[in-house]
């Protein structure tokens, strides 16, 4: 029912989206970006939650598990606050540009990170569990289990607080940020995850789509006013292929699944949201013709992995999660969660797309990053001229 309903909603947009897509398809002039400023949630958090654990802010037990092994085991060999076994998409962006991996703002603010040059490295404001909308919105809706108060608006406040250490005026900031890449997201996914985790219907989540997109649009306008000239704005992932959704929202009707085994209804929702976001980005492009606003298609960049896993080196199915090891029957929830004491992960995470049931492995993130930087999953293309191999 929800799947058909979303298809009807989405269908009238298709011609418009195609036309807008073509209008914005020319590549951004090739340039060498030297810094990244990142906003978002756990998909891009490189340690803000890790450093937040030392403050008075309450960290829910489910969130603090990321501070334990086996998180970070593959590349860093210790937990860094990243929600994966190793590097994230943002890390591969930095490596591709030949700059240091982004340091988390809270580590800088708390004085735990001292060797940081604001003009040469950029900074990461993303926090695991963050939402686009303010937490008060969810409290009013009876949703009280929001993992963090550090929403997109708070992250923008952090950036403005740090701004005087980077540049001195609006004109000076525009000059400084001419070689900076602003990654605005992925953000907004948790706004819907919190609903779906509680079993709320897709129809309800759809009513929140304009609110989430308006908040992201507000942030983009704010960053442009502060001097940002190149912004990458990711859409949502293919939710219907996520281990968590497949395990917690199973259906007995085979028609509810596509050929890859993904849930059509949740993928249709993610596709609907992404089309709405892309339409808003095209509107912003008209308002800011001198600014490069790039859509990052996380949906199709991740969907290709689920549809053809062996083509990308993954031997495990979408019903397998590396940490914790899932039972053969994925409907049986594992007793332990990734990061709990004594829990080990699979022997070879590179064979898995899914890391902990929600987030992906380093190998999957690397494939997605390559599709964004070298493939056809950004609109327009990012166009980095000082890139390294990935």
Q: Which residues are catalytic?
A: 42, 356, 359
Q: Report the DSSP beta bridge partners of residue 38.
A: 124, 183
Query: With contact defined as beta carbons under 8 Å apart, do 43 and 89 qualify?
Result: yes
């Amino acid at each position: 029912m929800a799947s058909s309903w979303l298809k009807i909603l989405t269908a009238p947009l298709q011609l418009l989206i195609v036309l807008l897509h073509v209008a914005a398809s020319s590549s951004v002039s090739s340039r060498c970006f030297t810094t990244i400023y990142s906003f978002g949630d756990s998909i891009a958090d490189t340690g803000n939650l890790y450093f937040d654990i030392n403050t008075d802010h309450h960290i829910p037990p489910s969130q603090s598990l990321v501070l334990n092994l086996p998180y970070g085991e593959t590349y860093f060999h210790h937990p860094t606050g990243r929600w994966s076994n190793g590097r994230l998409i943002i890390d591969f962006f930095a490596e591709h540009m030949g700059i240091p991996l982004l340091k988390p703002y809270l580590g800088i603010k708390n004085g735990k990170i001292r060797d940081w040059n604001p003009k040469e490295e950029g900074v990461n404001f993303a926090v695991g569990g963050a939402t686009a909308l303010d937490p008060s919105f969810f409290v009013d809706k009876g949703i009280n289990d929001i993992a963090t108060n550090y929403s997109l608006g708070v992250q923008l406040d952090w950036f403005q607080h740090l701004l005087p250490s980077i540049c001195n005026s609006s004109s000076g900031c525009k000059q400084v940020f001419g070689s900076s890449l602003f990654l605005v997201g992925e953000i907004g996914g948790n706004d819907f995850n919190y609903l779906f985790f509680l079993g709320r219907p897709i129809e309800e989540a759809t009513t929140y789509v304009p609110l989430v997109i308006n908040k992201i649009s507000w942030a983009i306008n704010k960053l442009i006013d502060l001097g940002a000239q190149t912004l990458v704005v990711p859409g949502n992932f293919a939710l219907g292929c996520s281990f968590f959704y497949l395990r917690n929202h199973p259906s007995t009707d085979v028609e509810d699944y596509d050929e890859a085994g993904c849930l059509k209804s949740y993928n249709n929702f993610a596709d609907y949201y992404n089309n709405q976001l892309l339409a808003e980005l095209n509107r912003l492009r008209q308002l800011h013709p001198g600014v490069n606003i790039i859509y990052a298609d996380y949906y199709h960049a991740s969907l290709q992995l689920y549809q053809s896993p062996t083509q990308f080196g993954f031997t495990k199915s979408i019903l397998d999660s590396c940490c914790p090891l899932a039972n053969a029957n994925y409907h049986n929830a594992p007793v332990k969660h990734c990061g709990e004491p004594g829990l080990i992960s699979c022997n070879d995470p590179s064979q898995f797309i899914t890391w902990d049931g929600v987030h992906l492995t380093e190998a999957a993130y690397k494939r997605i990053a390559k599709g964004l930087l070298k493939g056809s999953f950004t609109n327009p293309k990012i166009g980095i001229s000082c890139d390294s191999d990935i």
